[in-house]
Chains A and B, each alone.
Chain A
Amino acid sequence: MASGLRMEETELRLGLPGGGGGGEAEGVKNSGKRGFVEIVDLKLQLQTPVGVQEAAAEAAEKVRRSPNHDSIVSCGSDPEKPSPPKAQVVGWPPVRSFRKNILSVHSDKGRKEEGEKSSSLAALVKVSMDGAPYLRKVDLKTHRSYQELFMALQKMFSSFTTGDYGSQGMSGREFMNERKVKDVLHGSEYVPTYEDKDGDWMLVGDVPWEMFVASCKRLSIMKGSEAIGLAPRAMEKCKNKC
């Protein structure tokens, strides 16, 4: 029904004075992190015929709620009759959001297969690499350090980093081998960067691992020439080594 409701904002309609049902998104946020559900008021009598049919079907389902009604529930006119079905109301039933949140996370975990780690949800991020024809995804939570991550990335992108790129400096394999982060960054043509929560592109390796996992939204392994400020030094070192 959600898509049907969006249309209402542009519809001409009769309604109670003081605004319609769709305006609750603006204004003061009601304890947004506490299970706030916007009030959605279905103005059933003004929907398209399709909408009315859907609503009637739902109303028929809910007929047990209001045995004195016929199948299409009207709203607004009779204050003591129940609201239309499926309309969610803030804070009802009165269960504290602490409890609601815990149990909803719980039920997600419950559906996972046995044997899976239930400690935390995966942190899958896209990884793009210059020159690679398609992106990959890596789960940051399965690694415990930058080293592990780079090893995984190496495996992922090894097929793209032999050949052409190898002739310009170190090969991709050498780039992502077991080294300290500093060495990796300074000694190769490829610069791993990531986009953080604020949308900024940052160099991988500056912040503690946990902080990185929490704030990383996607990874991008750029070629040295695209990583401003680092490329000349990287190229320099490559030349010296080769």
Chain B
Amino acid sequence: MREERSDMSEDDDGGGEEKDSWAPGLGVAGKSRGAPDPLPPPLCDQVLENVIENVLQFLSSRRDRNAASLVCRSWYRAEAQTRRELFIGNCYAVSPRRAIDRFRCVRSLVLKGKPRFADFGLVPVGWGAHFSPWASAMAAGYPWLEKICLKRMSVTDDDLSLLALSFPFFKGLTLICCDGFSTAGLAVFAEKCRHLRLLDLIEDYFEEEEYEVVDWISKFPQTTTSLETLGFDCLLSAVNFEALEALIARSPALRQLRVNHHVTVDQLRRLMVLAPQLTHLGTGSFRSPEEGEGMEHEAHLVSAFAASRSLVSLSGFREVAPQFLPAIYPVCSNITFLNFSFAEITAEELKPVIRHCHNLQNFWVLDTVRDEGLQAVAATCKDLRELRVFPLDATEDSEGFVSDVGLTAISDGCRKLQSILYFCQRMTNKAVLTMSKNCQELVVFRLCIMGRHLPDHHTGEPMDEGFGAIVMNCKKLTRLAVSGLLTDKAFGYIGKYGKSIRTLSVAFAGNSDMGLRYVLEGCPKLQKLEIRDSPFGDAALLSGIHHYYNMRFLWMSSCKLSHRGCEDVARRLPHLVVEVIRDRPEADDEAVEKLYMYRSLVGRRNDAPPFVKIL
């Protein structure tokens, strides 16, 4: 029968970091465990349960908690009572009601919605992942809730208002890649949440017109605040700078501040002077609108950075004027995270900066620095754990400024590398093989050769061997994204050696059903599989029936699936929700354009839009 012990994978977007998970598998066959006991346990059991509760309070990892909850009823109850952080990797896998019924004392909620490919426009607007039902359920069920983190959810201004009014102890809100809200919602939230410590807006979508923008920064309480983190670098509209300055001045606990691109370098300096205790700084535009007075500004800026002795993380640099870069030299040797991924700088401009960054562990950069820039990184940053190289021109025909040369240099210089995301147009199997041998700590390997079906640019061969070497040599690998010209052979390697892989991203790859079959039959730990534009059909889909209940989701778009095949799966796996998403509602083809399927304890959702058909 089904394997019950599956747990949802952690959030590994950017490093394979461990987060708590929650085991829904219990509900499938062990439904009785979920229901409350009809009679209270006898006295001695109650005492035992209290003891267990006291012990379990110290367990924080959700994997450990899931394991503990499976021991017996008593432990299950005790664990449910003491779980403080609830992680739900797919908001449709469970209902708010069920979550609240089981876990009574949750203080912190992590909730994820849309599939990742929504970030690239593959999921039509209105698909779902609405936060509202969760917001209202939480308001009723968890009055002492303190923290919420949402990713790829649709959050309305009303939701924000409800949050602010319903939770008197609310401390922190993090919104990642969310949409549906505006500055009006932020204004209500800022005003009503009197004890707010954290507000972090990360790559959210704002769609308000200029005249609709509200001055939300002014709405924070006028007294000394408890703010520790304030991040709004994705906000499209400018904030009231005077109000921001005043807010910083009365927020002595502030450690993290990330401003948006409207903040000039002069304004930034003023803020830094008010908050020299900052550890994380998002620098905004890093440009001065008055070009002529650069020299004075530079001098003042340097002293502001020199005074910020605690800085470990720098980001922003959205319109960086290169003459201001030297200002950050005083902090370079301390910083562990540097995000230059919006800074169009050359290798020459990067070198003098990176030379000082001996302790850098996470580096995000644009490919404008070219292979030469990456060589400089490799020469200095011996402690580098994570590298992301983004393309300035993100089109498949673009020139591409980095190549196998840069990748090889990094692999030679940064032996502790754990996570890499690399966009390029020229790559060789040899370079990838070199990385697989040099960087044994790799947990995340995401290589995006932007031109579709591009082979090894030296040999003209497919990239099979390179990716094969990665899965073979990097024993700790849990996340893999492949690209370039790939045959079924590459998938054969993945299935054979990728025993720890949990997340796999495939695009424009493979020859036949065998490719997908290798993966589904060979990777026991696979949790998240997203595939686009690859020739995998119904037979391949069916080969994974034994495993789908162990996965969080499967996404397949522009493959060779048909309705018949998907219906087959839906019939055989009743606890799997099989969604067929149609871009053109009138086209009722036998071919399935987009398939999104996931396990769920609550069956089909009731908020599916017309273009989603649940089989």
| A interface list, Cβ under 8 A from B | 18-19, 23-24, 26-36, 64-67, 79-83, 85-86, 88-100, 102-103, 106-107, 109-110, 114-115, 117-119, 208, 210-211, 214-215
Contacts and interface: CB of A to CB of B under 8 A. Distances in A.
28 contacts: A18-B589, A27-B586, A28-B125, A28-B582, A28-B611, A29-B125, A34-B205, A35-B121, A79-B535, A80-B511, A81-B453, A88-B395, A89-B533, A91-B121, A91-B122, A93-B450, A94-B119, A94-B120, A97-B120, A97-B121, A99-B342, A102-B318, A103-B342, A103-B394, A106-B319, A110-B344, A115-B291, A211-B211
Q: How large is the interface on B (under 10, 10 to 19, 20 to 34, 35 or more residues)?
A: 35 or more
A30 B289 contact: no
B120 A91 contact: yes
Contact of B121 (A24, A30, A83, A86): A30
A18 B591 contact: yes
Contact of B507 (A23, A67, A92, A96): A92
A118 B319 contact: yes
Interface string B513-536: 000000000000000000011010
B48 interface: no
A109 B505 CA distance: 34
B607 interface: no
A95 B390 contact: yes
Interface in B188-225: 203, 205, 207, 209-211
B124 interface: yes
Given A18-B589, A79-B535, A99-B394, A93 B121 contact: no
B14 interface: no
Given A33-B205, A91-B532, A103-B392, 15 more contacts: A28-B583, A28-B584, A31-B123, A32-B125, A82-B452, A89-B452, A90-B121, A91-B122, A94-B119, A94-B507, A95-B423, A97-B120, A102-B261, A106-B344, A110-B344
A115 B611 CA distance: 50
B287 A118 contact: yes
B453 A18 contact: no
B587 interface: yes
Contacts of B532: 91-92
B330 interface: no
Contacts of A117: 289
B584 A93 contact: no
Contacts of B611: 28
Given A31-B121, A102-B342, A19 B587 contact: yes
B121 A34 contact: yes
A106 B317 CA distance: 12
Contact of A93 (B123, B207, B394, B585): B394
B397 interface: yes
B125 A31 contact: yes
A171 B357 CA distance: 68
B118 interface: yes
B318 A106 contact: yes
A236 to B, nearest CB: 34
Given A31-B121, A118-B289, A94 B448 contact: yes
